[in-house]
Structure 1
Amino acid sequence: MGLKTRIKTAIIKKAIDKRKAQHPFDEVYAETYTLPADADSSQNNSFYFSAHNIEGESLLFRNAYRGGGRTELWVAYKDKDGNAWVNPKQEYDNHEPTGLTITCVEPAKIWEFEFDSDLNRVRLDERRNGIPTDQTDRVKFKGRFTATAPIFEFSRHFDSLPVARALAREKFEKGFQNNLAAAHQVHYEQSGKLTAELSISGQTKTLTDMPTVRDHSFGTRDWAFMDRHVWIIALMENGDDLNFNAVRYPILRELQTGYLIKGEKRVCTDFYSSMDDYEKTNDVPLAFETKVTLADGTVMTVKAEKEMEFQFAFENRVYQFHEGIGSFDINGVKARGIIEFGFNKDEKRWNR
Structure 2
Amino acid sequence: MSRGIHYIDIFNLKASALAEQIVKEFPAENYKFVKGFDNQQFNDFGGGIAQRPNGELVVAASSRKAEGTMYDSWLLGLDASGKMIWNISLGNRFDDIVNKVSISAQNEIYVAGVTGAIIDSLKGQGWLYKLDANGDNIFNQRIDIDEVLDFVVYPDNKILIAGYSKDSKESTFTPNLVKLNANGKKLWSRAYSSKGKVYSLANDASGITYAAAGNWIFAINQEGYLKWDILLDQSIKYTAVDMNANNKLVFAGLNATGVFASAYNIDGEKIWESPIGISENGNIEQIISLPDHSFVLAGTFNNKIKVVHMDEAGGIKSEKEFCLPQGIKLNDLTATDDNFVAISATRLTGKGDLIVFKMGL
Is the TM value for this pair above 0.5?
A: no
The alignment's TM-score, normalised by the length of structure 1, stands at: 0.27
TM-score for both structures, normalised by structure 2: 0.27
